[in-house]
Amino acid sequence: MNKKSRLFSIRTFFRRLFHRRIVILGAVIVLIFIIGAIFATVIAPYNPYKIDVLHSLRGASREHLFGTDENGRDVFSRVLFGARTSLLIGLIAVLFAAIAGILLGLISGYFGGWVDIIISRIMDAILAIPNVLLALSLGLVMGNSIPSLMFILGISTVPNYARIMRGQVMGIRNSDYVLAESVMGAGTFRILLSHLLPNCFAPMIVLITQNIGNTILSEATLSFVGLGVNPPTASWGGMVNDGYIYLISNPVYSLAPGVCIMLLVFGFNVLGDGLRDVLDPKLRGTLK
Amino acid sequence: MRKFILKRLGQGIIVFMLICFFSYIIMFLIPGDPVYALYGANISPEQYQMYYKQLHLDQPLLLRFFNWFINFLRGDFGWSSRYRCSVNELIATRLPITMYIGILSLILTAFFGILFGVIASVKRGKWQDSVITVLANIGSTMPLFWIGVLGVYVFAIKLGWLPASGYTSPFIDLGLNLKQILLPVIAMAFCQVANITRLTRSNMLEVINDDFVRTARAKGITEHEVIFGHVIPNAISPVINMIGMLFRVVVAGSVAIEKIFNIPGMGQLMIVSITSKDVNPLQACIVVISTVVLIVNLLVDIIYALIDPRIRLQ
């Protein structure tokens, strides 16, 4: 493909992606949160960890946009730093899960037989344990530092990738071009990586984008029940929980982080739907 | 059909064993000594030896797992050091509460999800469709616990219509019970309705353009009969499957919901046993809940295959 036509295809890709206005909205929301998270130190009007007991639980005002929490910390600044936690954990957990799931799916779909049975039953077992429950019990074993949270949240979504990947691979494993390749003497590894993997790429990208939202929700749920990110690190779920008992004195404290979770998850979901419409030819044009 | 059921049953049993093994090894993976974790740190060396023997820690892991598993199958879940009573007792009082709320919200979810999905697909492109699609998008992004918090803020604190928390058995005071579970049930249903709506809508749209629907229309039967007699029966089976999957989500949701509304169910038991490192109830929770999920999914699969011959012939 020469440079010009590649440029053209990228342009068509974005034109198709942003064909629906709501996808633009989703992309803008995600972008705003990413910028907010990256430049949190610059944007935040206060230090999110600075305790000021004299000004605790103030309602929203000009000095404190979202008021202050029970320790007098500025809620707006903490929400900004919470975006960092959510995005970091969400993105890395999803990437980890995707890589693990895609590899497992490739292996079990391509080799079949016993390998497939073993991998599939383990995936079934992971799926049968409700993900929050799995995360809670793994958290007990591994502790709730941020890296172990990423691993824990990732693990429970591995079967989603593995299953779809397995189905995709099984669908094209016996197709003519794979057969031709193996007749021409290509090794298993080459077939797996240069033929089967790229062919399953589009549904995986879609699944990854859609799973980021769910992972962010799970992280928030864990932090909400007090078994996620450790305080004083700012996390949205934890803030909703901390603010819950102060709903009467400063409702914004508990409600604002919830709105942020909603917006960010909404952004990723809409973006995921947009990507699906563009990348998954089977569904293209059916959803307007 | 019998082969299909036997195969699914066999798969279910293997998965059940795997889950049991997983919940068993948790106890040995937790940092710290299992004897101290179970009986507290201030026990004498003699007691330590006694408990060490009692837990069969001197035997190999697989043998211990086997013994533990036999006890488990007999329905003996051990002793809770945190609550100072048998785990069986804890599960027996808590599981019905979680199931009660979970099943009620699942019924609400299925009803409204399918209803909205059907309306959106039949009125495709009209204002009803847009309203439902936008609401479904919003609903699936709201964290369950936050809907709970919002519900408490609006209906308990601002309006004062409903109690903010607590649980009374329906056999003691049904009216109070209904008032108390109204917010949790609606909050739980709220997040899931969106998923069912989206799935129903897309399935309906897929079927609505099929050849046999066109044939049905060409025969001259009414639109009403086309939708209810041909489209819905063909579009609904993946939705039934999805509802089986949702059961898992509902159980997971109980962790957050029971915390907000202070309901003494399985979710609360899990959090307390994790924070107090009380392993026996946690193991029992994992196995009991996962088994219920497994059985529900198995039943759904079988019903699915019974309704839809395409599945069992695959």
C-alpha span between B27 and B77 (Å, rounded): 14
Q: What is the 3-state secondary structure (H, E, C) of B185-242?
A: HHHHHHHHHHHHHHHHHHHHHHHHCCHHHHHHHHCCCCHHHHHHHHHHHHHCHHHHHH
B238-270: pLDDT as tens digits: 777 777 777 777 777 888 888 888 888 888 888
Q: Which residue of B has its CA nearest to A211?
A: B141
Structure confidence at residue B48 (pLDDT): 77
Query: Number of folded domains in chain B?
Result: 2
In a domain, B175, yes or no: yes
**Cα-based angle B246, B252, B256 (whole degrees, multiple of 5):** 130
Domains of chain A: 18-43+66-284 (1.10.3720.10)
Start-end of H helices in A143-235: 146-155, 158-173, 176-183, 188-191, 197-199, 201-224
Residue where a domain terminates, one of B244, B260, B276: B276
B127 and B65 within one domain: no
Residue of A nearest to B16 (CA): A125
Q: Does one domain contain both B66 and B117?
A: no
**pLDDT at A93 (0 to 100):** 92
- B29 touches A at CB < 8 Å: yes
Which residues of A fall within a CB distance of 8 Å from B150?
Answer: 255, 258
Q: Are residues B175 and B222 in the same domain?
A: yes
Q: Which domain holds residue B111?
A: 95-276
**What does the pLDDT read at residue A287?**
40
Both tokens assigned to B288: 């009991």
pLDDT of amino acid A99: 92
B290 is a domain residue: no
Question: What residues does A68 pair with on adjacent strands?
Answer: A74
Q: Are residues B155 and B11 in the same domain?
A: no
Please check whether residue B87 lies inside any domain of the structure.
no
Residues with pLDDT less than 70, chain B: 31-32, 34, 37-41, 55-56, 308-314
Is the separation of the CB atoms in A80 and A74 below 8 Å? Answer: no
Whether residue B59 is found in the same domain as residue B146 = no
Residues B118 and B17 in one domain: no
- ipTM, two decimals, is 0.77
Q: Does residue B84 sit within a domain?
A: no
Under DSSP, the state recorded for A55 is: G
- Residue with tokens 């079967």, as numbered in its chain: A159
At A3 the pLDDT is 55
B79 in helix, strand or coil? strand
What span, in angstroms and rounded, lies between the C-alpha atoms of A231 and A248? Answer: 23
B152 and B233, same structural domain? yes
Residue B80 lies in a domain: no
Domain-embedded: residue B106 = yes
- Domain-embedded: residue B117: yes
Model pLDDT, residue B40: 66
Domain with B227 in it: what CATH number?
Answer: 1.10.3720.10
Q: What is the pLDDT of residue A98?
A: 92
End residue of a domain, out of B24, B42, B74 = B74
Tell me the C-alpha distance between A242 and A69, whole Å.
8
For residues B113 and B261, membership in a common domain is answered with yes
DSSP strand E in chain B: where?
79-80, 85-86
Q: What is the DSSP string of A209-272?
A: HHHHHHHHHHHHHHHHTTSSSPTTS--HHHHHHHHHTTTTT-HHHHHHHHHHHHHHHHHHHHHH
Residue B53 and residue B100 in one domain: no
The β-bridge partners of A74 are A68
pLDDT for position B207: 81
Per residue in B145-168, pLDDT tens?
888 888 888 888 778 787 777 777
Name residues 120-179 of chain B within 8 A of A (Cβ). 125, 137-138, 140-146, 149-150, 152-153, 157
% of chain B with per-residue pLDDT over 90: 0
pLDDT value of position B226: 83
- Which of A122, A125, A266 is nearest residue B141 as measured by Cβ atoms? A266
Contact A140 B270 (CB under 8 A): no
d(CA B250, CA B243): 10
Residues B167, B111 share a domain: yes
The whole-number pLDDT of residue A96 equals 93
Distance from CA of A77 to the nearest CA of B (A): 20
Q: Based on the domain organization, do B239 and B160 belong to the same domain? A: yes
Which residues in chain A come in under a pLDDT of 50? 1, 284-288
User: Does residue B83 form part of some domain?
Assistant: no
